[in-house]
Chains A and B, each alone.
Chain A
Amino acid sequence: MNRSEFINNLRKSLVNIPAEDKEDIIYDYEEHFRLGVENGRTEEEIAKSLGEPRAIAKQYLANYTLEKAQESATAGNVFRAVFATVSLGFFNLIFVLGPFMGIVGVIIGFFAAALGITVAGIAVVIAIPLAPVLPEIIHVTPVVTGNPAAFIAAGAGLTCFGILFGIGVWYLTKYFYLITIRYLKLNIKLITHKEVL
């Protein structure tokens, strides 16, 4: 690979990096080639010792997505940072993506539970007053009709609990994002086998 092939490859692989950062990066490698040639090396040799442009671009992408996630820990940013870090090497697939997806599943489950509880509570609060009016649609047992107030209160309580649970899970999610970002920073510091000559 000669200089222009390398630079073009690199440019193409840096798709998701903002233009200003991209130009800074290209500047570094243009300078590297220029000085290497001045020192008597061939473009092919320089390109070889630099490594694969795509692997280099992945490192920049991992740094960039992690920086964005630190600025604003939204779901999208955190997910992008995780996948960019995972793309750095196989090691990260097991030790980053695996646990991450597992915890994502648990959190989704919690949200679903919170939603279910809230909906159930609301349903109770609505259904009990309406039961005498719409007997064909809403069926309640005699226990309930005997103590409508108690059961409405229970329904309200359930709704509140569901909402609080939901809020709790939301805070848990934010905390999870912060931990993930910290873990990704650690992982980025490890060298993958692709970077060793």
Chain B
Amino acid sequence: MNIQFKKGVLELCVLAMLAKKDCYGYELVSAISKNIHISDGTIYPLLTRLKKEGYFTTYLQESTEGPPRKYYKITDEGRKMLEELTNEWYDFVDSVNIIIKEDTENEQE
């Protein structure tokens, strides 16, 4: 499957995950690449960019199994952006569904 779509969708996925709980990079990357066929290397630059835009902060947490892990934590700005992107996404999906439904009904006539 080869999809071209706006990175806004990836932003939405990352923010949605972080809204539920703080995650470390590998967690986010694994969860996303399980469902979306994108090279893992795309996600880290995205995380860096979104952090610079203030949608989340990072902190290091000591780990028993090695060097400290870098955790991402969503900010209020991030939650606002999440709401915006979620609304955009549902509007988009609704519009496409309407068009698809109309087409199917026309075909059946």
Contact = CB atoms under 8 A, between A and B. Distances in A.
Given A28-B25, A38-B65, A63 B42 contact: no
Nearest to B1: A196
A142 to B, nearest CB: 69
A196 B33 contact: no
B44 interface: yes
A49 B66 contact: no
A53 B44 CA distance: 12
A67 interface: yes
A55 interface: yes
A56 B65 contact: no
Interface stretch (A29-37, A73-81, A176-184): A29-37
A194 B45 CA distance: 15
A197 B36 CA distance: 9
A120 B48 CA distance: 53
Contact of B45 (A31, A36, A60): A60
B38 A197 contact: yes
Interface extent on A, as a size class? Answer: 20 to 34
B37 A197 contact: yes
Interface stretch (B2-10, B14-22, B73-81, B96-104): B2-10
Contacts of B48: 24-25, 28, 60, 63
Contact of A63 (B2, B38, B49, B66): B49
A50 interface: yes
Contacts of B69: 31
Contacts of B49: 63, 188
Given A190-B4, A191-B38, A195-B39, 20 more contacts: A24-B48, A28-B48, A31-B69, A31-B70, A32-B40, A35-B26, A49-B40, A50-B41, A51-B40, A55-B41, A56-B45, A59-B42, A60-B45, A63-B52, A67-B52, A190-B6, A194-B39, A195-B42, A196-B37, A196-B39
Interface of B: 2-8, 24-26, 29, 33, 37-42, 44-45, 47-49, 52, 65-67, 69-70
16 contacts: A25-B44, A28-B44, A32-B25, A34-B66, A53-B41, A55-B41, A56-B42, A56-B45, A60-B45, A63-B52, A189-B6, A191-B38, A195-B42, A196-B3, A196-B37, A197-B39
